[in-house]
Structure 1
Amino acid sequence: MAVAMARVYIVRHGETDENRQAIIQGQFDSHLNAKGIEQGKRVAEALRAVPFTAAFTSDLVRASKTAEYILEHHPGVPLRKQTELRERYMGELQGKKYGAKMLPPGESTVESIEAMSARTARWWADTVLALPRRSEPQCALVVSHGGFIGVLVKGLLNKRVRLGKDVQMGRCLNTSVSIVEIMEDGRGVLVQYADISHLAESRKEVVQGNADEQGLRV
């Protein structure tokens, strides 16, 4: 029987004004708004008891600040900022409202789905699967973006990760928490996807749309 190597907690960043206004951010370096800061502190409290041994975040401020809130409860755990964890590069669409018209094929500067899928898979192999083996399973924190998380998880489910019992795929909302358990042989189980039970506000008060994730269709 395969032995658990790690549990990976994948968190989407807190809310930004751009999220609220349905503006495509991509790799534009937006900041958390007041609600996003509150959400960051709530997810930090929800993950307080997790014995993190490693932490990774997109270097974009909305993600790295969310990660910093979480690690306030985990002093001594270094935070590695990685450009590979950035949202999809949306090129000419960045800063525009969702639904904006993109340039014709061949002229667009938007990162292709194929390139993004390759980037997420490469990051997983180079970072998560390369975590050093320990006598006890490692708990790794990963803070990224809705589009990145969706592409990463879908790619994993198409390969060596299976969907856990009663786990359903859905929207990846702000500060939602997904958990993947990885075995020594590299196989894994998605045991939780996009949970926001730590948020005090009702689900309908959380931004339902994600312009960047919706933009993955372009």
Structure 2
Amino acid sequence: MATRHVYVVRHGAADPFGRLTDVGQRQSELVADRLARLPVDAVWHSPLPRAARSVELIGERLPGVPVREAAELIDHVPHVPDEIPPEWAAFFEGYDPDEAADGARRAADLIGRFARPARTERHEVLVTHAHQVGWLVRHALDAPPARWLGLGCGNTALTAIDYDDGAAPAVLLYNDMGHLPADLRWTGFGPGVRP
């Protein structure tokens, strides 16, 4: 087995209908420029329009790199805690046991497909959603399942995780927005002071 280098990117900023805004398109172009400096073997994306459009823009800057849809990257709630923290009660209101079980199955599929070493050295980009970025980071850190709740992710922020055979996953970057100018950072988060 060899190292799988996974570069996880949240899609660009989108409107309430899931379409990329002008800001989201610019963010996608800028993260694409950053990714173009890497030896990318494949780009995978969620089937949702905001991720698919982000990948169209990324793919333009990665000529010859295969771009494919992966159902495992779709936006979903990966884990519903047995005891929901009071500050998250409104978020989880209305989730029933069937939805929670479906989310857990999807989360296991995501980990099973992408969070493991490869047969040969691989550099893969995953364009997905905030919950899935948080879930992959939580898994890589071997944190309790409920810890995904506190792992927010900005639009087109870059997270890098290496999966080596016989070693724990290594989180190299998390939520890195260094490719974005200040006015394009912190979209996808609620209001608050930003460093």
Aligning the two structures, in what range does the TM-score lie when normalised by the shorter sequence? 0.7 to 0.9
Aligned residue among 7, 13, 16 for 1:15? 13
Q: Which residue of 2 aligns with 1:208?
A: 189
The equivalent of 1:190 in structure 2 is 171
Aligned to 1:179: 160
- Listed as ranges, the matches of 1:1-218 within 5 Å are 5-18=3-16, 30-88=18-76, 102-103=93-94, 105=96, 111-112=99-100, 115-129=102-116, 131-133=118-120, 137-158=121-142, 170-185=151-166, 187-202=168-183, 206-209=187-190
Amino acid at match of 1:149: V
Q: TM-score, normalised by structure 1?
A: 0.68
Aligned-pair CA distance for 1:204: 6.7
1:152/1:73 Cα in 2 relative to 1: closer, same or farther (>3 Å)? same
User: What amino acid is aligned across from residue 48 of structure 1 in structure 2?
Assistant: A
**Amino acid corresponding to residue 176 of structure 1 in structure 2:** A
CA gap of 1:64–1:132, structure 2 versus 1, over 3 A, is farther
Aligned residues: CA RMSD: 3.0
Evaluate the alpha carbon distance shift between residue 85 and residue 204 of structure 1 in structure 2; reply closer, same or farther with a 3 A threshold: closer
Cα 1:146–1:75 shift into 2, 3 Å: same
Render the CA deviation track for 1:102-160: whole Å, top value 9, x for unaligned.
Answer: 43756xx7x32x64344233223234537431xxx31110010001211222123217x
Change (3 A) 1:151 1:127: closer
Amino acid at match of 1:126: R
Counterpart in 2 of 1:165?
none
Shift of 1:7: 1.0
1: CA distance between counterparts of 2:24 and 2:184? Answer: 15
Which segment is superposed worse, 115-124 or 53-62?
115-124
User: Which runs of 4 or more aligned residues in structure 1 lie more than 6 Å from their structure 2 counterparts after TM superposition?
Assistant: none
Question: C-alpha separation between the residues in 2 aligned to 1:150 and 1:116?
Answer: 14
Instruction: Quickly say closer, same or farther: Cα 1:53–1:116, change in 2 above 3 A.
Output: same
1:184/1:64 Cα in 2 relative to 1: closer, same or farther (>3 Å)? same
Gaps of 5+ in 1: 19-28, 90-98, 160-168, 211-218
- The aligned amino acid for 1:32 is L
CA contact (8 A) 1:170 1:194 kept: no
In structure 1, the partner of 2:86 is none
Structure with higher helix content: 2
TM-aligned CA deviation for residue 100 of structure 1: 7.8
Q: Report how far residue 66 of structure 1 moved.
A: 1.1
